[in-house]
Amino acid sequence: MAARDLPLVSVVTPVYNGEPYLSQCIESVLNQTYSNWEYIIVNNCSSDGSLDIAKKYAAREPRIKVQNNEAFLPQLKNHNLALSLSSPGCDYYKIVQADDWIFPECLERMVTLAESHPTVGLVSSYQLAGSRIMGDGLPVSSAVFSGREICRRQLLDGFFFFGSPTAILIRAAAVRSRKPFYNESAIHADTDACYDVLRNWDFGFVHQVLSFYRTENESISSSVRDLNPHHLDKFISLLNHGKHFLNESELEEFLRWYKKDYFRLLAHCLFRRKGWAQFQYHRQGLRTVSFDLNLIKLAPFIVAEIVDLALNPKNTIRDLVRAVKRV
């Protein structure tokens, strides 16, 4: 089949100071076995050589277009801008973060699955995150799942099948139904968007490692890695999306249980390194969903932690020594 007869995939890479990894990212798109794609790179006022790298590749490959922002944009606004620059007739969107890359069969495998199942709005796969493979938990005998089933499993059982933005392919109709696609006030906007898409679409999963997510660079995600962002993400997801995928009694019971476990963790960490920074990070995050986290709500768990510290001095000293070594 000629390339022009295949669905058009709009690959987008928003970049800010991505010089160390951008060439590898772009090369991974160029090396795709799937041929009908356009590639939009949005340079967000980088102060390094990112723009020169992007222009160098665009000069050699007509399918690559480079947008150079005149003014710096917040991260999510820049992502939405990148999506808006895609061709109006594209069939799928594929974000590839500037410090990540995709394996050669990524687009081909994902598009093939989506084209075989028109009800699928979002496709993911296994993802190599550093040296770990992420996305396990689904039966290898199935490739398509109802959006409701996937979201329920994530909310109730602790799985996470979406992966990072680089891991997913999104049907254009699903992207265009949200304006803008990423909620620019959400703290975990990529997760929020996936839950919202799956209210109306099915979920596809390719049982193959198709993308690489870099974990060692100094990105926004790495800067908060020690602040337990996944617990915040889970609690926000329950508050925002639980009502769409769980019945009232399930949501009430699970929120009660998870809140208790979550608050216990926050109280425990208050007495550890970065404890106050973690509390402030979670407090600010929960304000985006109108949830007021304060020390009064954590008081019973703080008291329990103080009692535990007093009754287990050896553990307390051990934790202090570990914290000092990490400084």
> According to the 3-state scheme, what is the secondary structure of 126-188?
EEEECCEEECCCCCCCCCEECHHHHHHHHHHHCCCCCCCHHHCEEEHHHHHCCCCCCCCCCCC
Residue 324: what pLDDT? 42
Measured between alpha carbons, how far is residue 308 from residues 279, 299, 301, 302, 316 in Å? Answer: 20, 14, 10, 10, 9
**DSSP secondary-structure letter at 122?**
E
Whole-number mean pLDDT of the chain?
91
Residue 313: what pLDDT? 63
Output the CA torsion sign for 181, 231, 25, 198.
negative
Residue 314: what pLDDT? 58
Report yes or no: 179 and 127 within 8 Å, Cβ to Cβ.
no
Residue 217: what pLDDT? 56
Extract the tokens encoding 17: 């100071």
Residue 326: what pLDDT? 44
> pLDDT under 70 in the chain at which residues?
1-2, 217-225, 313-327
Domains of the chain, each with CATH number or no CATH: 3-217 (3.90.550.10), 224-326 (no CATH)
Report yes or no: 184 and 74 within 8 Å, Cβ to Cβ.
yes
Does residue 180 have a cis bond before it (omega within 30 degrees)?
A: yes
pLDDT tens digits along 93-146: 999 999 999 999 999 999 999 999 999 999 999 999 989 999 999 999 999 999
Report yes or no: 232 and 282 within 8 Å, Cβ to Cβ.
yes
Quickly tell me which residue has 């084209």 as its tokens. Answer: 115
Pairing of strands 37-43, 9-15: parallel
The pTM (predicted TM-score) of the whole model is 0.88
Residue 187: what pLDDT? 84
**Phi then psi dihedrals of residue 102, to 5 deg:** -120, 150
The DSSP element (H or E) to which 221 belongs, if any, is helix 220-223
Tell me how far apart the alpha carbons of residues 69 and 79 are, in angstroms, rounded to a whole number. 12
Residue 311: what pLDDT? 82
Quickly tell me which residue has 């550093």 as its tokens. Answer: 130
